[in-house]
Chain A
């Protein structure tokens, strides 16, 4: 049975929106918990009260954000089952254990200790509380590790194979899944981006305090910790960027070619298209400005390897689809009871391409009777829309380099003790607060939109993955989610702004600006 296009599109839209919304809160949690750990470590080592106040004040802002992160995270766990039932059946054997591990190792740790972080100040010794804060930070980062292993597997599905008895993918090597190169670079890239987000948040708000000459000692110390941690993190994001993951697997290669609007395979080393206007229909990029060699260096870490272009990759996809048709035909025979060795051998030869065969399900339920025109259509489907990827990728990169500049300036002026006399720098830092979010959201867009038409690259097409729902059900859930999320976002922003305006005076220690102290 072929699921309606509108249900597929609505399911995708809903997952995309809720995942991007969840990721408004995740990176700040990743970064803030580390910053809190650093601030509290300074407090425990020096005994200076102001560092405890910093931990508690920034902790308050972290708390508002954390509540939203928890709220929106549950949606995602529910949604795999509610909206992607066939996906859940098909890859639950790999995805499930990773999610369950996240529960055991990360969610329990962070959720159990977050209460002690907020309410345990007077009940724990200094060192005990510090330990709690650091474990909280590790908990949030473990969480990122497991879910990115799961996501990395969706981009580059290693350590697993199709079982024709159970009609699903099953895990064959945990080590391969864990050390999946795509997942590993994704993890480093993502948590470092989280540290950047936390740092930019603290840097920007501290700059606002400094601009208004409020709580200067408090703000100056926060500013310097954020600028140092931020610079180190933004360098990791850029240098250890996840570009290196784009050479693993066919679908990642197509994604890379789409990001670069690389229609043809050029002789190595390939040039990097700095800017231009990709045109999907004519398969070319107008007004392209190219930097020679750069793409080849980034993508292959060499000067003599080709970076394949979209047209060639599409041809390769079509030969995979043809092989997938054979696999599907043999699977059909086995299901009908023919388990002869000849069928089994033929299936095993082609089973790696079974997923490509499933791409044809969109056009013909039987798969094996696909026409040349349907093959060509399925081939086109393997190429994601180039322009959105091309542009969002560039927005991400520009945001990243802008932040590098901000953090470098901030740290330099911190080191020379001139930061609070540089209003331009402080204003720049305030206005840069949205940048890490822009970078993170566009980055995820590139990663996920660029994987289309797959949920599991090369294994399971998106249109096969959805639950068998009516569009009425989808509109109900979409309506509810959009309403709740809009109201909650307004409330969250209201509380954030309220506590930012109050500053450390919200701790009611009697030591800060609004309480009549400088």
Chain B
């Protein structure tokens, strides 16, 4: 079975390009050109140089000794939190802004939830001298004030998405509408492995640097280029796609995804799409989607704004349906416990999203000689207010 996208833009039963005709010329231009653009050696050299000198790659693969001792296995942390801007998101925005340049675009539009993708987009736009507009849910603008300030300091225009539930889903709708209204000069940098084909594949390719480095680094440290488990959190799923990418066809590696179960999978306050969703179309692709019986999209809930999305990338829906990926639902409380544990055992404060992946150790029961790699997708500075509040750090 293939886990890569097919000619029609599908991963098994999921994917495609369900877009209005107004977006067809843009998406078709991207589809017909992205592979050639990425394969061009000049592009590759420019992308690699920016990842090295601007982003700070390769990121370390760190043996977490005290976590390993606690769970009686070998745990490695892939330190995406050390990327410039504090998360893996920038791997994709560096790649896409180079694609945008080659498509002759001089304006960028993006959506953001917690603000990490917005900051990563504003950062590369500043670097390349491109105009940047970021749509963000009005509610998220309020609860993620530091990232809003970062984007504005970088010169981006942050626009409040006031429709619907005023969070990530609606910010994505607004970014798509902006693109419909500005089809000629603007490129839309989607932040996750969602959206119409070829976005899920293109974003996965730009994030695949994560698993490429894991292979090389494991070879050096362990004498083999694959782990027994790769664990990553999944909202839309871009960091997971990058961490899984080079192991998709490696049967010795189990692919483990941590979804946000919020207050519990069946609590009515959850974002665990593989548990609660069914096949549907949102934001240009067919995938698993949390929705009512009538097909209206349900607003999910998670303590983590980055996992607060009612869908999941089509690649992940296929990994789930085919059984290739194993999905865990991690509650807010479990994530908070794991965040404290990683902070106090390893000296690394993880993002709340990442904490969901770290909470899987408890459930995994890996053997002592097995190798577990967890993608430490982002750092926790942006979540300090939540940590302060929920963990009573100021009392």
Q: Do A and B come from one complex?
A: no
